Structure formats: C-alpha cells, structure tokens
C-alpha cells in the first residue's frame, strides 16, 4: 500500500524541495506502479532515505518524493552477509549485527542514514586498507526498480553495473533491498597524538605509513592537529567487561573529539553556543596531552543526530585531497582560513574532521578512485558567512585537485564536477540517457551538475 503523506513536502525539511506528492510505500511491490504511471506521479521521482544529506541531491521539486522509511525490515542474516530493506536505518542494522557478534567492515560515526542511501551515495570512512573506503563498498547485491517500473537485481557477478549503481544517487532506479557484507566484531585500539602543523608535516610519511585507520581533528585557528589512529586489536588484549569498565572514561576523555562535529548540529542559538563551548573546552582539555590508548568496538562510537534532519544540515562540507599533497595543502588551508577571516570577518570556528581514505574503485564516483586521499571537512555552526566561505573554499579545493561528493559537498558548481570526475561523469550521463529516456529520475540539482538527462 502506498501512503500519500501530504502534498507539500516533508515538514522538517530545511532544504527547499517542494514535491507535489510525498508517498510512503509500505511494500516494495508498490514502487513499480509509481514509476510506471507517468501521468499520476509527476517527474522527478526521487527516493528519500533518512533525508540527512548536506545537499539537494534528494530534491523532487514539483514531482514525486518516495520516502522509503516504511521499508524497514532486516530480512536475513547469512554467512558473511545481511539482507535488509532500503529504509532500515544504519544504527538499527548495526545494533542487530552487534547482538550476533558481527559488524560491517566500515562503521560511520552517524547512525541515521538509511541502507538504501548507503548503497547509492558517497559515504567516505577512515579506512584500514585498500579497496574499502566508502560505505557502498560493503554492498554485494542491490534490488531496484528501474525508471520504467521493472524489477532488477544486480550482484557481484556483474561488477561493472554494481560499481555504477553504488554511486547512482537514485538516478538509475529506486533501491528497495540490499545485501551488505559483514565481519566478526573486532576490537579497535584508539590512540591520539597532538601536533602543530610543522610537527605534523615532519612526521607525515611515518603517520600514513603505519597500520590503522586515520581520523584527524583539525583546529585551523590554533595550529593544532590531533591524529586519531584506529588499529584492529588482533591480540584481543582487553576483555569485553574491561571494555565496559573503560567506556565511561572513553566517553569523558576521548569522544569529545568526535563530539566536535556532533555538537555542532544543534540549531537553537542558545543551546548551540552552550554546547559548542562545552565541546571546545573538552576537546582543548583532551589536546593538552596525548590521550592514552583505549580499546572499543566500532558501534560504540556511532551516535544518532537529532530527529529533525534540518537541524543538522548546515554544519560541514567535504572534499578529498591527494594523500601525498596533504601537509602542503593543510598549511595553505590554514592560511586560507586566516585570510578569509581578515577579509570577511567570518571564522570557520569548529574543529574540522578529516579521514584518510585508501584507494577504492568499487563505485564510479568514489572520491578515492585515483588513489589514496585525505578528506578535509570544514565545520561550522552555520553562522552568517558560512555559505560564502564554502563558495571560496570550493574553488580553493578544486584548484588543488580535490574531489567532491554529491551528497556531502555543499555549493558545488558544474565546473568542479567536470574537473573532478571528467570521463566518469560523461560515462554516467550517457548511461542515464540510455536508461531513462523519459527523464523520470533526474532533478534540477543533478541536471545542473551533471548536465542534460
């Protein structure tokens, strides 16, 4: 059954998108009819997951939004995989896996996203090794409904098609079911080291050469880089009960480093400044000394953002830079922030996140398609000046050979996309022309960035 939720778009939406119809299918079998009936369900028909993207990629202005929330069943745990419907939230899935002693090969810090979106968007994560640096690399099978309303199943037996679908953003079809790879739960040892920019540059080759996933916390205005290393603790040196004993101290002493970005999502001005200063204080306290190693499971660092997604939307943007260039780039970025402040009185004031990504060619628009990359994720409370800062920052990033995403990089321009993706964008455009002649799935956002149908 398809529920017609309203005709004006999600109430909690902070990004103008105005679908004429907002539908919530309760069964996968409802979706073919929506796509096939062109007169009843106007273009563009856009799938909506949890609606937490930083951009208008989900937008269906004047068309039909298909909210997948009601497709929320985890269907089957198999040996090494789990099968789930597209609307299942990642935190729900990760909890169910944990109960079985399992996890996904990658675990983000935010649990709100839907697994349908996970399968088709760019969600880069600090990676342990080559081949898996974006969440969609965990996907081994996708069931979708094509623009003509036909059912299609794509598995690893068709790697080229799967690669294209893994970053297709709902432009090749609406996904209703996916299979994700799983691995046994692993203990992760977390170490922190704090550097100045000069120290970071001097130690860089050693830092990227050592094993483990790297997450950086950057403070451009106080010349501080906190390097967080997440290493798989193969010795299992800490018992499970030991982990729970140290958990409180982890939350108090180490997690504020994650909290810097999470705190920034609170929208109320009073609340925000209280939280920001608290987070900044805690992070500064953490930065006064190197944190001692702690051991935890990946799901313990996952948390949920506020239920109203608009409260979390204006807080960060993301580009990925070539790994070898990163120390030079960071020096230029810190100088760029100071110059921007002098000229425009806007200070990009929150601690920025960054992740080292190994080369990952499992999706067409992977940001580490060409080789190892490190992201830079400017973060802000969203004060006046943030949007203008991003326009200048995007040109800075593009000029420095960086690669954006369609769902987490704000204020992108077509020339940024053409420069970063070149032939890959042309290939995708040609594919869309062949598969969606009636232009059922394209919206203004993508036709501006990728051009045509």
Asked if 169 touches ligand FAD (CB under 6 A), the answer is yes
Give the residue with the Cβ less far from ligand FAD, 260 or 312. 312
Distance CA 333, CA 319 (A): 12
Residues 6+ apart with CB under 8 A from 66: 23, 24, 25, 31, 34, 45, 46, 47, 48, 174
Give the residue with the Cβ less far from ligand FAD, 66 or 197. 66
Phi then psi dihedrals of residue 414, to 5 deg: -55, -35
At 16 the three-state DSSP class reads coil
From the list 16-24, 117-125, 271-279, 382-390, the region that binds ligand FAD by CB under 6 A is 117-125
Asked if 313 touches ligand FAD (CB under 6 A), the answer is yes
**DSSP character string of 357-383:** E----SSTT-TTSSS-EEEEB-B----
Q: What part of residues 251-270 is at the interface with ligand FAD (CB under 6 A)?
A: 265
**Smallest separation, CB 353 to ligand FAD (Å):** 7
The dihedral of CA 349, 265, 449, 388: what is its sign? negative
Taking alpha carbons only, the member of 315, 321, 347 closest to residue 334 is: 347
Among 57, 213, 367, 449, binds ligand FAD (CB under 6 A): 57
Asked if 46 touches ligand FAD (CB under 6 A), the answer is yes
R_g of the chain computed on alpha carbons: 21
Alpha helices in 288-413 (DSSP H): 326-344, 386-399
**Smallest separation, CB 384 to ligand FAD (Å):** 19
Q: Tokens 């973060």 sit at which residue?
A: 379
CA angle in degrees (0–180, nearest 5) for 103-109-111? 70
* 122 neighbors 136 (Cβ within 8 angstroms): yes
CA angle in degrees (0–180, nearest 5) for 313-444-314? 10
**Smallest separation, CB 211 to ligand FAD (Å):** 22
Asked if 294 touches ligand FAD (CB under 6 A), the answer is no
Give the residue with the Cβ less far from ligand FAD, 220 or 353. 353
At 345 the three-state DSSP class reads coil
Asked if 47 touches ligand FAD (CB under 6 A), the answer is yes
Q: 10 Å Cβ neighbour count for 405?
A: 27
Among 31, 48, 254, 267, binds ligand FAD (CB under 6 A): 48
Give the residue with the Cβ less far from ligand FAD, 327 or 381. 381
Distance CA 311, CA 444 (A): 24
Among 315, 349, 366, 375, binds ligand FAD (CB under 6 A): 315
Distance CA 167, CA 162 (A): 9
Q: What part of residues 218-237 is at the interface with ligand FAD (CB under 6 A)?
A: none
Among 15, 22, 113, 190, binds ligand FAD (CB under 6 A): 113
* 336 neighbors 220 (Cβ within 8 angstroms): no
From the list 52-60, 183-191, 218-226, 267-275, the region that binds ligand FAD by CB under 6 A is 52-60
Asked if 51 touches ligand FAD (CB under 6 A), the answer is yes
Asked if 435 touches ligand FAD (CB under 6 A), the answer is no
Distance in angstroms between the alpha carbons of the first and the last residue of the chain = 30
Asked if 350 touches ligand FAD (CB under 6 A), the answer is no
Among 305, 354, 373, 425, binds ligand FAD (CB under 6 A): 305
Asked if 116 touches ligand FAD (CB under 6 A), the answer is yes
Site track for ligand FAD across 119-158, x = CB under 6 A:
-xx-x-----------------------------------
The dihedral of CA 9, 10, 14, 15: what is its sign? negative
Asked if 291 touches ligand FAD (CB under 6 A), the answer is no
Give the residue with the Cβ less far from ligand FAD, 109 or 228. 109
Among 170, 259, 382, 404, binds ligand FAD (CB under 6 A): 170
Residues shown for the chain: 453
Site residues (vs ligand FAD, CB under 6 A): 46-54, 57-58, 68, 86, 108-110, 112-114, 116-117, 120-121, 123, 169-170, 174-175, 265, 305, 312-313, 315, 407-408
């Amino acid at each position: 059954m398809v529920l017609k939720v309203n005709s004006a778009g999600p109430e909690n939406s902070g990004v103008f998108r105005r679908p004429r119809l907002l539908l919530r299918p309760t069964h996968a079998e409802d979706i073919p009819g929506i796509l096939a009936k062109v007169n009843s369900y106007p273009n563009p028909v856009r799938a909506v997951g949890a609606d937490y993207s930083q951009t208008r990629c989900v937008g269906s202005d004047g068309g039909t939004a298909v909210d997948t929330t009601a497709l929320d069943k985890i269907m089957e745990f198999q040996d090494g995989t789990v099968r789930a419907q597209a609307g299942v939230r990642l935190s729900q899935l990760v909890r169910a896996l944990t109960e079985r002693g399992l996890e996904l090969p990658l675990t983000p810090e935010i649990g709100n996203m839907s697994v349908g979106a996970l399968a088709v968007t760019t969600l880069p994560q600090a990676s342990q090794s080559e081949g898996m640096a974006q969440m969609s690399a965990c996907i081994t099978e996708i069931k979708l409904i094509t623009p003509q309303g036909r059912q299609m199943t794509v598995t690893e037996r068709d790697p080229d098609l799967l690669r294209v679908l893994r970053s297709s953003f709902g432009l090749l079809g609406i996904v209703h079911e996916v299979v994700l790879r799983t691995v046994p739960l692993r203990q992760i040892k977390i170490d922190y080291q704090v550097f100045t920019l000069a120290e970071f540059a001097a130690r860089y080759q050693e830092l990227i050469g050592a094993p483990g996933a790297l997450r950086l916390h950057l403070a451009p205005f106080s010349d501080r880089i906190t390097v967080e290393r997440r290493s798989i603790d193969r010795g299992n040196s800490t018992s499970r009960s030991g982990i729970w004993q140290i958990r409180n101290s982890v939350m108090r002493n180490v997690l504020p480093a994650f909290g810097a970005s999470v705190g920034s999502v609170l929208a109320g001005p009073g609340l925000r400044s209280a939280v920001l200063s608290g987070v900044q204080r805690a992070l500064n306290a953490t930065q006064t000394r190197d944190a001692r190693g702690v051991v935890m499971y990946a799901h313990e660092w996952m948390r949920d953002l506020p239920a109203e997604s608009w409260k979390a939307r204006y807080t960060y943007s993301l580009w990925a830079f070539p790994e070898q260039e990163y120390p030079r780039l960071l020096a230029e970025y810190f100088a760029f922030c100071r110059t921007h402040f002098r000229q425009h009185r806007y200070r990009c004031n929150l601690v920025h996140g960054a992740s080292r990504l190994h080369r990952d060619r499992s999706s067409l628009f992977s940001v580490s398609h060409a080789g190892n990359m490190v992201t830079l994720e400017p973060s802000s409370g969203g004060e006046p000046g943030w949007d203008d800062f991003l326009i200048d920052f995007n040109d800075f990033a593009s000029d420095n050979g960086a690669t954006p995403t369609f769902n987490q990089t704000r204020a992108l321009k077509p020339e940024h996309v053409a420069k970063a993706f070149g032939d890959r964008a042309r290939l995708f455009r040609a594919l869309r022309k062949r598969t969606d002649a009636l232009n059922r799935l394209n919206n203004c956002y993508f036709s501006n960035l990728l051009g045509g149908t």
